[in-house]
Structure 1
Amino acid sequence: MNKLEDMIAASKLNELLHKKDDEKAKNTLLWVLAVVGAVAAIAGIAYAVYKFFTPDYLEDFEEDFEDDFDDDFFSDDDEV
């Protein structure tokens, strides 16, 4: 009977050790995902701030040529 009790105690101890290892692995994974999420959030905020404060040079470029483009369709003979 003593060997049976020793085996049961060893199996319970083994289960407890494996539970701690599983919890440690889950905890490590949770920390890794938290760090990746924080870095992604900071990068997203930085990109949004960059896009907000960067001037739109294309808009100014298009406005320079709008007046010239309209003049090409009218000739001196077509004006009333």
Structure 2
Amino acid sequence: MSLNNLLQNEKIEDLLAALKKKEDEKEKNTVLWVLAIIGAVAAVAGIAFAVYRFFAPDYLEDFEEDFDDDFDDYFEDEEE
């Protein structure tokens, strides 16, 4: 009898281990899906920002050129 009980207990333990392993795999898949979604959103946001920066006019460049011209004129006037 005890040998039969040991075999049954071993089968039950194997089934429980298999169920636990399957449950762990589900948790890993969930984490993987969440990370994949976050990565996809970040990639789309990065692409949108790059497109925006490419097409947006650069007003600061014009301002810097005007400032440099005014600054140079000021020093030229002092030397004279």
1:11 deviates by 0.5
Kindly, what percent of the aligned residue pairs are identical? 62
Q: Please, which of 21, 27, 30 is the counterpart of residue 28 of structure 1?
A: 30
Secondary structure of the residue that 2:69 maps to in structure 1? Answer: helix
List alignment gaps of at least 5 residues for structure 1: none
The one-letter code sitting in structure 1 at the alignment partner of 2:4 is N
Q: Would the alpha carbon gap of residues 4 and 74 (structure 1) be closer, same or farther in structure 2, given more than 3 Å must change?
A: closer
Structure with higher helix content: 2
1:6 deviates by 1.1
Structure 2 residue 5 is the aligned partner of structure 1 residue 3? yes
List alignment gaps of at least 5 residues for structure 2: none
The one-letter code sitting in structure 1 at the alignment partner of 2:38 is V
Q: In structure 2, what is the Cα distance between the partners aligned to 1:8 and 1:74?
A: 95
Given the two structures, how large is their TM-score scaled by the length of structure 1?
A: 0.83
Q: Please, which of 68, 71, 77 is the counterpart of residue 69 of structure 1?
A: 71
The residue correspondences of 1:10-21 to structure 2 (distance < 5 A) are 10-21=12-23
Aligned-pair Cα RMSD in Å: 1.9
Q: In structure 2, what is the Cα distance between the partners aligned to 1:66 and 1:39?
A: 41
Given the two structures, how large is their TM-score scaled by the length of structure 2?
A: 0.83
